[in-house]
Amino acid sequence: MVSMVADEKSQPQLLSKKAACNSHGQDSSYFLGWEEYEKNPYDPVSNRGGIIQMGLAENQLSFDLLESWLEANPDALGLRRGGASVFRELALFQDYHGMPAFKNALARFMSEQRGYRVAFDPSNIVLTAGATSANEALMFCLADHGDAFLIPTPYYPGFDRDLKWRTGAEIVPVHCTSANGFRLTRAALDDAFRRAQKRRLRVKGVLITNPSNPLGTTSPRADLEMLLDFVAARGIHLVSDEIYSGTAFAAPGFVSVLEVLAARGASNAAAADLSERVHVVYSLSKDLGLPGFRVGAIYSSNPGVVSAATKMSSFGLVSSQTQHLLASLLGDKEFTRKYIAENTRRIKERRDQLVEGLRGIGIECLESNAGLFCWVRMGNLMTTQSFEGEMELWKKVVFEVGLNISPGSSCHCREPGWFRVCFANMSAKTLDVALQRLADFAEANGSGKGGAGAPARRRLAGGPARTMSCPVGRFSWANRLTPGSVDRKAER
């Protein structure tokens, strides 16, 4: 019998409550900016007035290195080993534990990314269809419906979807501020824990991104020590999302929580217990720039987590041909060594281009040393220093300037005026176009370096100025995106 919902026409409810609910997070400005980009994407030849995608943390800087390796190793791509076809072997059913050759190569590559200061046991790796699946699987393993994880702000907007939508887990923000460069503090953790208790939520753990998305900074060793002390004292879990570990390009460099944990030793019962409550997420989407391959991993020393997550991975396996190809690529130690060095050099070069270009406009960035984005302060372009002013500026940047960037409010930042701006998914020339558009907008609004009366700056890379196809006011969804009192009430 078809159930009915109470509405004006009593229409039959044909979808499940999960499918029909609005808890996916798609109404976030992070996702809605993407939708506008997809309607009108920039192309340097065919659509010079389109929207430039600066909301996508994708690494396209080193594809030529990967393509050169493929040309030199045709067997890997041609599903051959030693000249003989392995098509039948790969096409038949595969154990969801993953191919040993690939897991061994991935474990070695993860260790190489960390300067061999951490050794990874392949038997503790669970393969997943990207980091999104890895994070969700960990939520299913560690939290029941209604349990909570503490996450430092600002955090990746997709977590509201990835961690909560299907699992029913809750997120309690750990509020960090610009006063100390948004570093995590024990006081902020304790405050978040107390707020969770007031909401009658059972806290099951803390989740961090290291290097941070969206800050583009690595977690200092002292902060990781403090975090381990906190989870040890509370008897909860720690999930460290380290998918940007290979993007650190400057001091102090990347330190994995596993390195800090190993330094404590596992000789006593307390250290051994803590090691089973620390879990790492990794993928090849950012360091190798292969998000389309859907290769993610959970690393855990907890046998129960590994067993449960392995069973869950059957719902999102990594294809056999992908594992075969990447086992060969990651197994080439000479290639991975050169790739890591050159890739980080290119990331730094492109990041410097963005930072210097913004500084020339009078816009400053948080000092960063990793990631594929910068945390940019654009308050000088806002009419009011408020979240309303932030959203007003965001709409103008998307629809008038033609740049899709992510406002800090979508990352749950408590201070208006911050934006995440990505730089590694485009050419240097396209980045120049984006900077020129922003410079023109700043000057037209009297906020650029030199003020409204300054002479128009030289165009960095041709292209007509972009005009809005529709007034901002006509987009009702954009008017809904101002963070309201409802969101903030939940945290009080």
CA distance 405 to 403: 6
Cβ atoms of 307 and 79 closer than 8 Å:
no
Confirm whether 282 is a catalytic residue: no
Confirm whether 286 is a catalytic residue: yes
Note the residue count of the chain: 492
Cβ atoms of 339 and 122 closer than 8 Å:
no
**Which of the following is catalytic: 42, 155, 156, 299?**
156
**Which of the following is catalytic: 147, 160, 223, 241?**
241
Number of CB atoms found within 10 A of residue 452's CB:
11
Cβ atoms of 411 and 171 closer than 8 Å:
no
Can you state the angle between helices 257-264 and 221-234, rounded to 10 degrees?
70
DSSP string, 13-44: --S-HHHHSS-S-TTSHHHHHHHHHHHSB-BT
Confirm whether 156 is a catalytic residue: yes
**Which of the following is catalytic: 286, 339, 361, 432?**
286
Cβ atoms of 99 and 323 closer than 8 Å:
yes
CA distance 332 to 30: 37
CA distance 360 to 327: 45
Can you state the angle between helices 221-234 and 186-198, rounded to 10 degrees?
30
Cβ neighbors of 417 (< 8 A, separation 6 or more) are 377, 378, 379, 382, 385, 389, 390, 408
**The amino acid at 433:** V
- Residue 387: C-alpha distances to residues 181, 349, 395, 445 (Å): 20, 32, 12, 19
Cβ atoms of 462 and 45 closer than 8 Å:
no
**Which of the following is catalytic: 151, 208, 236, 243?**
243
Q: What are phi and psi of 299, to 5 degrees?
A: -120, 125
Instruction: Classify burial at 110, counting beta carbons within 10 Å of its beta carbon; exposed 0-12, middle 13-18, buried 19 or more.
Output: buried
Q: In what order do the strands lie in the sheet with 296-300?
A: 125-128, 296-300, 278-283, 237-241, 203-209, 148-152, 170-174
CA distance 282 to 280: 7
- Only one residue has tokens 């103008």, namely 396
Beta bridge partners of 422: 373
Residues 290-312 as b/e (b if ≥16 CB within 10 A, e otherwise) read bbebbbbbbbbbbeebbebbbeb
**In terms of DSSP bridges, do strands 373-377 and 418-422 run parallel, antiparallel, or are they unpaired?**
antiparallel
Catalytic residues: 156, 241, 243, 286
